[in-house]
């Protein structure tokens, strides 16, 4: 086309550095889905999307006093740099927490991290070259998938059912990938109250998964933020409890205390631990001393086991509210998981519906969820959505499910009208922000 005579030959791209970004930044673009989550943050919207713990249930006055006392008594230490591995006393306390899940570990093998998310980042950083394979449940935690993508890992999903990851599929996938000459680096798994599926790997399968990975010489990265938030009985025995050399365990105080402290950790075999410490120092020098000491003080002076029990009861009530409402209100064809702990229900929509296409209408009806595609690295999940019950009160959960059921009924009608419930692909897959992950 003739562009005429008066104009510039070089346009503006707004961003002067557009040609200089790393390849891993390619997917970092604005998206419709993220824009919709901006609306979901308004109080008018019942958000069944967020994975935010209900920190209001903490004795905030006590936490306030504890923090004030920390500054008054130990200010010069709390406000100073710390060690790359983390505060030694807190690492001892972390070992005490892990004993609840059968883990017998020394504090020297613990590295304190900025939430378990940073532990995940560091693990990926030290193990993954572009193109290396990470095995992960399908679906899997959106924040982990984002990290794997950032390091250009190739994620291969392993099937799940109501009892968690399917060992036979794990074994077959490992064999297939090895035959194809792929470089497998680790299995990433959330065995208890999985995010987003809400299911738990049963004990027999835990043994099988460890055996399969041992045979293949494959490291297991066990991410266990919800392990102490089970609604029935004692906490499940962690994978790490039965294989200290084959498992890197990631833990977090984000759900049992508060995410605002950003204190998580990795428990790793010695050699891995050494690399994690060096990676940690190169990333952030050291974790916040203030946060670590505050968490340590909390654990030392407060009835933290009782607080976890309070959280469990609160989340159980909310889980019940969600399951009862789903049962009463969802149209035929919808199915969902029944979590025995944690924060999430994974819903499967009637045939042909696309959760991405449903989200805008849901937001217009003042209810939000996370479309299932965000929990897969390979564009699966359009027929699923994650519903969280951790943050809204039970009556809001019931109202949210009521609104959502109406939206899904409309979508079924739309599907029947047009013979498809899917929208064009450009609506895209996206990772929600930290409050939603």
Coil, strand or helix at 308: helix
Binding mask 359-378 for another protein (x = CB under 8 A): xxx-xx--------------
Considering only residues 317, 348, 428, 435, which one is a binding residue for another protein as defined by CB under 8 A?
428
Considering only residues 358, 382, 385, 437, which one is a binding residue for another protein as defined by CB under 8 A?
358
Tell me: does residue 385 bind another protein (CB under 8 A): no
262 Rama class: left (phi>0) / alpha (psi -120 to 50) / beta: left
Tell me: does residue 11 bind another protein (CB under 8 A): yes
Beta carbon of residue 406, minimum distance to another protein (angstroms, whole number): 14
The structure tokens listed for 12 are 């503006």
Tell me: does residue 22 bind another protein (CB under 8 A): no
Tell me: does residue 420 bind another protein (CB under 8 A): yes
Beta carbon of residue 350, minimum distance to another protein (angstroms, whole number): 14
Nearest alpha carbon to residue 416 among 367, 357, 350, 359: 350
Judged by CB under 8 A, the stretch of 86-94, 249-257, 320-328, 410-418 that binds another protein is 410-418
Binding mask 34-73 for another protein (x = CB under 8 A): xxx-xx--x-x-----------------------------
Tell me: does residue 216 bind another protein (CB under 8 A): no
Neighbours of 109 (CB within 10 A): 20
Question: ∠33-35-38 over CA atoms, to 5°?
Answer: 115
Query: CA 100, 203, 146, 363 torsion: positive or negative?
Result: negative
Nearer residue to another protein within complex by CB, 312 or 361: 361
Tell me: does residue 23 bind another protein (CB under 8 A): no
Nearer residue to another protein within complex by CB, 16 or 72: 16
Cα separations (Å) of 148 from 178, 299, 335, 337?
20, 32, 29, 26
Alpha carbons 367 and 102: distance in angstroms, whole number: 40
Residues in a beta bridge with 186: 134, 219
How many alpha carbons fall within 13 Å on the CB side of residue 85? 17
Q: Which residues sit at the interface with another protein, rule CB under 8 A? A: 1-8, 11-15, 17-18, 21, 28-32, 34-36, 38-39, 42, 44, 354, 357-361, 363-364, 413-415, 417-424, 426-428
């Amino acid at each position: 086309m003739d562009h005429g005579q008066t104009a510039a030959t070089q346009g503006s791209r707004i961003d002067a550095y557009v040609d200089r970004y790393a390849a891993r930044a390619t997917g970092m673009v604005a998206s419709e889905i993220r824009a919709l989550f901006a609306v979901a943050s308004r109080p008018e919207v019942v958000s069944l999307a967020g994975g935010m713990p209900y920190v209001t249930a903490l004795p905030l006055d006590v936490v306030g006093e504890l923090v004030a006392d920390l500054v008054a008594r130990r200010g010069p230490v709390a406000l100073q740099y710390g060690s790359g591995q983390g505060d030694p006393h807190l690492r001892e306390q972390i070992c005490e927490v892990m004993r609840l899940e059968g883990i017998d570990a020394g504090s020297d093998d613990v590295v304190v991290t900025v939430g378990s998310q940073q532990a995940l980042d560091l693990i990926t950083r030290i193990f993954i070259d572009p193109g290396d394979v990470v095995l992960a449940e399908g679906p899997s935690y959106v924040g982990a998938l984002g990290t794997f993508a950032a390091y250009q890992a190739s994620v291969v999903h392993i099937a799940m059912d109501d009892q968690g990851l399917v060992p036979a599929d794990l074994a077959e996938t490992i064999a297939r990938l090895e035959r194809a000459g792929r470089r497998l680096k680790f299995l990433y798994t959330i065995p208890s109250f999985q995010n987003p599926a809400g299911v738990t790997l049963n004990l027999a399968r835990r043994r099988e998964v460890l055996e399969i990975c041992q045979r293949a010489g494959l490291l297991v990265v066990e991410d266990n933020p919800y392990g102490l938030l089970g609604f029935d009985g004692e906490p499940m025995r962690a994978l790490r409890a039965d294989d200290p050399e084959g498992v890197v365990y990631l833990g977090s105080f984000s759900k049992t205390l508060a995410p605002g402290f950003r204190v998580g950790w990795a428990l790793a075999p010695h050699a891995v631990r050494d690399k994690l410490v060096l990676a940690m120092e190169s990333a952030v020098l050291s974790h916040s001393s203030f946060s670590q000491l505050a968490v340590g003080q909390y654990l030392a002076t407060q009835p933290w086991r009782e607080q976890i029990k309070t959280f469990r009861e609160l989340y159980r009530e909310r889980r019940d509210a969600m399951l009862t409402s789903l049962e009463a209100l969802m149209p035929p064809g919808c199915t969902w998981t029944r979590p025995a702990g944690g924060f999430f229900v994974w819903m499967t929509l009637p045939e042909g519906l696309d959760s991405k296409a449903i989200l805008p209408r849901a937001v217009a009806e003042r209810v939000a969820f996370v479309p299932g595609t965000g929990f897969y690295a390979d564009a699966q999940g359009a027929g699923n959505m994650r519903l969280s019950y951790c943050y809204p009160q039970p009556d809001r959960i019931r109202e949210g499910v009521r609104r959502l059921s109406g939206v899904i009924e409309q979508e079924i009608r739309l599907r029947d009208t047009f013979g498809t419930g899917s929208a064009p692909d450009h609506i895209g897959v996206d990772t929600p922000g930290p409050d939603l992950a």
